[in-house]
């Protein structure tokens, strides 16, 4: 019986070019968000709590950082969730891609079998593997025009081919989707079960090339709760609206900041660094919501934001949206939604709204000032980082700028990171086991004799910078 061996996993429909996106997990942070995680290096597995679509890092001293992904990026393996890109161990051998599980057991192999248009062509195929958060992206480039292309398959799992999807096993939840190849490249896929191979052909009466094929390897994404719509006022001004599931942030915490990032894959004109965003006061909208529904949504928290850099090709573009996340967290909402556009090219009314694998933000006018970023259906997908700290009666003054009238008792360590430590107001400030460290200034107790802060200490110390 023909069998296909794989437990390939991915989070969203990620495009591949004779290309495959396989998703599973690796530890703990990749280049995807290194630019925001300079303080999160060398994390230990024990400090990470994972769900299918979040990673929460315990940074110590009551500090936490949670990354919320737009897709499923973690996979259950032997009773624990691991990064999806760690699940697979891809090996390239000439024109064959071999995928192994975390224990080194072969899951599946894809061997390219093709016929060149020119017998004299010296081009040879290349299979490039790029690691990213949530999986791998495989690109196969034949390097010349070809007359035919097939994949020979080898695996120990049974499989079936239904509606342009190769379904692996009964319980893996893994599917290899060839709909994108048909939609974008006019390539049809036929499964030869007897000979365990996939046959690619140009769709009848259409043009195209078999040099590249775009299947996507996905895992059951039923747990993905993020939503996205691409909106514009009639192909002139563009904006994006996304919905994030934030209820895995524990209750009774203090949100310190939240950063929203997207990956730029196209830039036209000279976009600048400002943006405008709003919170959407609607918990129920989906990607299939009508234009009328999107137009009728109440917006709050209007803010002029700043990108971390000018939109640049193949770079992460991030902006601070703390006020939006804070509002929905305080309301104990399951979701938080943000609408974002270029501050210089505001839409008056939304004319079109639909879900796609990209985000456009800006103005498509004479100078085409806009950028395009990945979203659901493409990778790397957007993500959200929320930093928060413990709260409660003993930690209301666990900060370097203290209102002494809170009369709090501090039991956790406070790191001022080279900044000032200030006490203002009248009251009592008590250290009970916690240390205040790395501050560069003396205490500021107030400007008049009636404004006094009494400091008591039952353990812990004040340790300033030398």
- For 112-135, the pLDDT digits (tens) are 898 888 888 887 888 877 777 777
- Identify the top-confidence range among 293-302, 363-372, 445-454: 293-302
> Mean pLDDT over residues 407-433, rounded?
78
Q: Is the pLDDT assigned to residue 1 strictly greater than 50?
A: no
Integer Cα distance of 120 and 125 in angstroms? 15
Is this structure's pTM higher than 0.75? Answer: no
> Mean pLDDT over residues 149-158, rounded?
87
E strand spans, 156-252: 159-162, 165-168, 174-177, 187-192, 197-202, 216-219, 227-232, 237-245
Least confident of 11-15, 178-182, 271-275, 282-286: 11-15
pLDDT of residue 30: 36
> Mean pLDDT over residues 355-378, rounded?
72
pLDDT more than 90, % of the chain: 22
pLDDT of residue 279: 96
Integer Cα distance of 283 and 301 in angstroms? 16
pLDDT more than 70, % of the chain: 78
pLDDT of residue 329: 95
pLDDT of residue 299: 94
User: pLDDT band at residue 174, thresholds of 50, 70 and 90?
Assistant: low
Q: 81 near 127, Cβ under 8 Å? A: no
**Helix, strand, coil proportions of the chain in percent (round to 5)?**
10, 45, 45
User: pLDDT band at residue 284, thresholds of 50, 70 and 90?
Assistant: very high
Q: 175 near 218, Cβ under 8 Å? A: yes
> Mean pLDDT over residues 409-433, rounded?
79
pLDDT tens profile 311-334: 888 888 999 999 999 999 999 999
Q: Is the pLDDT assigned to residue 172 strictly greater than 80?
A: no
Alpha-carbon distances of 204 from 148, 200, 208, rounded to whole Å: 14, 12, 10
Average pLDDT, the chain: 77
> Mean pLDDT over residues 77-81, rounded?
82
Q: Is the pLDDT assigned to residue 178 strictly greater than 60?
A: yes
> Mean pLDDT over residues 351-375, rounded?
75
Query: Which burial class, exposed, middle or buried, applies to 384 when counting CB atoms under 10 A from its CB (0-12, 13-18, 19+)?
Result: buried
- Identify the top-confidence range among 181-190, 250-259, 434-443: 250-259
pLDDT of residue 393: 45
Q: Is the pLDDT assigned to residue 40 strictly greater than 50?
A: no
> Mean pLDDT over residues 94-105, rounded?
82
Which SS3 state, helix, strand or coil, does residue 167 take?
strand
Integer Cα distance of 240 and 359 in angstroms? 6
Query: Which burial class, exposed, middle or buried, applies to 443 when counting CB atoms under 10 A from its CB (0-12, 13-18, 19+)?
Result: middle
Query: How is the chain split into domains, by residue range?
Result: 20-25+73-219, 227-381, 392-464
Which SS3 state, helix, strand or coil, does residue 327 take?
helix
Residues in the chain: 466
Using alpha carbons, select from 297, 298, 317, 314 the residue that is nearest to residue 362. 317
pLDDT of residue 67: 94
Residues 277, 278, 279, 282, Cα dihedral to 10°: -120
Would strands 436-439 and 462-464 be described as parallel, antiparallel, or unpaired? parallel
Query: Which burial class, exposed, middle or buried, applies to 272 when counting CB atoms under 10 A from its CB (0-12, 13-18, 19+)?
Result: middle
Angle ∠(51,226,13) on CA atoms, nearest 5: 90
Integer Cα distance of 370 and 380 in angstroms? 19
135 against 376, higher pLDDT: 135
Using alpha carbons, select from 270, 25, 16, 250 the residue that is nearest to residue 135. 25
Q: Which helix (H) or strand (E) holds 153?
A: strand 146-155
Q: Is the pLDDT assigned to residue 159 strictly greater than 50?
A: yes
> Mean pLDDT over residues 264-289, rounded?
89
Which string of DSSP letters, residue by residue, matches 387-442? EEEE-SGGGTT-SSEEEGGG--EE-S-EE-TTS--EEESSEEEEESS--EEEE-S-
Integer Cα distance of 199 and 214 in angstroms? 13
Residues linked to residue 61 through DSSP beta bridges, in sequence order: none
User: pLDDT band at residue 443, thresholds of 50, 70 and 90?
Assistant: low
User: pLDDT band at residue 8, thresholds of 50, 70 and 90?
Assistant: very low
Q: Is the pLDDT assigned to residue 252 strictly greater than 90?
A: no
- What letter would DSSP give residue 250? P
> Mean pLDDT over residues 331-347, rounded?
92
Q: Which helix (H) or strand (E) holds 18?
A: none
> Mean pLDDT over residues 204-213, rounded?
83
Q: 386 near 249, Cβ under 8 Å? A: yes
User: pLDDT band at residue 302, thresholds of 50, 70 and 90?
Assistant: very high
């Amino acid at each position: 019986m023909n069998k296909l061996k794989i437990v390939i996993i991915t989070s969203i429909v990620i495009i591949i070019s004779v290309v495959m996106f396989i998703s599973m997990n690796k530890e703990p942070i990749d280049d995807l968000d290194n630019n925001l995680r300079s303080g999160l290096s060398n994390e230990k597995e024990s400090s990470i709590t994972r769900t299918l679509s979040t990673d929460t890092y315990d940074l110590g001293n009551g500090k936490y950082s949670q990354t919320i992904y737009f897709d499923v990026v973690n996979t259950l393996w032997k009773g624990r969730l691991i990064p999806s890109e760690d699940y697979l161990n891809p090996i390239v051998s000439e024109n064959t891609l071999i995928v192994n599980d975390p224990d080194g057991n072969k899951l599946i192999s894809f061997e390219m079998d093709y016929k060149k248009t020119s017998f004299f062509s010296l081009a040879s195929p290349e299979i490039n593997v790029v690691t990213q958060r949530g999986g791998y992206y495989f690109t196969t480039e034949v390097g010349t025009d070809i007359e035919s292309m097939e994949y020979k398959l080898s695996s120990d799992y049974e499989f079936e081919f239904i509606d342009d999807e190769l379904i692996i096993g009964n319980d893996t939840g893994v599917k290899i989707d060839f709909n994108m190849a048909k939609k974008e490249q006019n390539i049809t896929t036929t499964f030869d079960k007897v000979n365990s191979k996939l046959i690619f052909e140009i769709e009848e009466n259409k043009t195209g090339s078999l040099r590249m094929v775009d299947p996507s390897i996905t895992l059951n994404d039923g747990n993905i709760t993020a939503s996205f719509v691409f909106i514009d006022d009639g192909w002139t001004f563009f904006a994006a609206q996304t919905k994030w599931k934030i209820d895995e942030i524990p209750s009774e915490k203090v949100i310190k900041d939240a950063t929203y990032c997207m990956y730029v894959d196209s830039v036209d004109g000279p976009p600048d660094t400002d943006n405008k965003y709003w919170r959407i006061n609607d918990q129920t909208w989906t990607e299939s919501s009508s234009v009328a529904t999107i137009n009728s949504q109440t917006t709050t928290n209007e803010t002029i934001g700043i990108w971390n850099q000018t939109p640049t090709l193949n770079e992460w573009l991030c902006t601070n949206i703390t006020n939006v996340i804070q509002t929905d967290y305080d309301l104990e909402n399951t979701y938080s939604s943000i609408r974002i556009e270029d501050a210089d090219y505001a839409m008056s009314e939304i004319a079109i709204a639909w879900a796609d694998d990209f985000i456009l933000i800006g103005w498509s006018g004479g100078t085409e000032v806009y950028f395009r970023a990945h979203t659901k259906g493409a990778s790397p997908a957007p993500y959200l980082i929320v930093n928060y700290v413990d709260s409660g009666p003993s930690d209301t003054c666990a900060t370097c700028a203290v209102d002494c009238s809170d009369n709090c008792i501090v039991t956790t360590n406070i790191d001022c990171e080279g900044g000032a430590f200030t006490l203002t107001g009248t009251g009592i400030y008590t250290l009970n086991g916690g240390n205040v460290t790395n501050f560069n200034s003396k205490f500021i107790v107030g400007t008049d004799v009636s404004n006094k802060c009494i400091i008591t200490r039952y353990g812990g110390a004040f340790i300033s910078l030398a």
